[in-house]
Amino acid sequence: MSYFRTAILLAGLTALFMGVGYLIGGGTGAIIALVIAAATNVFAYWNSDRMVLSMYGAQEVDRSSAPELVGLVAELAGRAGLPMPRVFLIDEMQPNAFATGRNPENAAVAVTMGLVHSLSREELAGVIAHELAHVKNHDTLLMTITATIAGAISMLAQFGMFFGGNRDNNGPGIVGSIAMMILAPIAAMLVQMAISRTREYAADNLGARIAGQPMWLASALVKIENAAHQVPNVQAEHNPATAHMFIINPLSGQGMDNLFATHPSTENRIAALQQLAAELGGRGAGPSIGANENYPRGGPWGRSSTRRGPWG
């Protein structure tokens, strides 16, 4: 999806927010809703990264605590022409990852322990490159704003249930209030998901080009998708509004490419990556990611039964 269409969806989300405000308080309510939306976005712009990282208990790592992981991120960031982002580890066994931050200069990449222990170095490179593609495309700010407005619409609709039930006060009435409480969050969710799903395809494509091998990411997506069926992400279940930030939906393994999916189907994403690999042909291989004797072919942590983890 183009940025123009994404902007239209964002405008629709803001208009929906104002519409709910109008139903509650008329013209004054719409203006108040617009002010709230603006304030919410300003707050999200400056604090979204800290909020989501704290929510998942992410711990920042550096070259001394996680040399292989941080080195890989640095190499890929250099290929992408990006400043070095902060790197975080999440104590979560479900393999997954996300990026956050208001711009490339203030970006962060967070990966779970399950991810670094279950993927090869090449697959991990594909995932990190995907997240860096989100940073380069400024998706991290876009997704945070949509999540914030969607959440605010849900709260505003519930607020309207208590204060919009009297038609004499220009409210929607009790029936209208109930309908608003149900339909407004659903409409916001649909717009939020539509934006999220389209940006995943773009990040897959650019991330595959950054890593140099589309099939590295394809292989990683298969592993992460399979694990999502089996390993619950408890924190994500408590904060479902953040599900769209992850590379694979952490809430369920359902990959149906429909209005109610936070991500495109993994099958469709892999098919697109396979097509990209065919188009790139020999050019798709690119230089090997950090190929040297320090990184065994089994991945950055080696093939031993006791994996040491990303800290060496």
Which residues have a catalytic role annotated? 131
| DSSP reduced 3-state for 181 | helix
Phi, psi of 254 (to 5 degrees): -75, 120
Half-sphere exposure of 295 (CA within 13 A, CB side): 18
> Which positions ≥6 away from 15 have C-beta within 8 Å?
none
Distance CA 62, CA 86 (A): 8
Distance CA 41, CA 38 (A): 5
User: Is the backbone of residue 232 left (phi > 0), alpha (psi -120 to 50) or beta?
Assistant: beta
- Kindly report the number of other CB atoms within 10 A of residue 229's CB atom: 10
Amino acid at 28: T
**Do residues 71 and 79 touch, judged by C-beta distance below 8 A?**
no
- DSSP state letters, 226-252: HHHHHS--HHHHH-GGGGGGBSS-SS-
For 35, 97, 147, 166, the CA distances from 30, given in Å and listed in that order, are 9, 37, 20, 17
**Do residues 312 and 64 touch, judged by C-beta distance below 8 A?**
no
| DSSP reduced 3-state for 64 | coil
Distance CA 39, CA 284 (A): 44
- Kindly report the number of other CB atoms within 10 A of residue 252's CB atom: 13
- Kindly report the number of other CB atoms within 10 A of residue 296's CB atom: 13
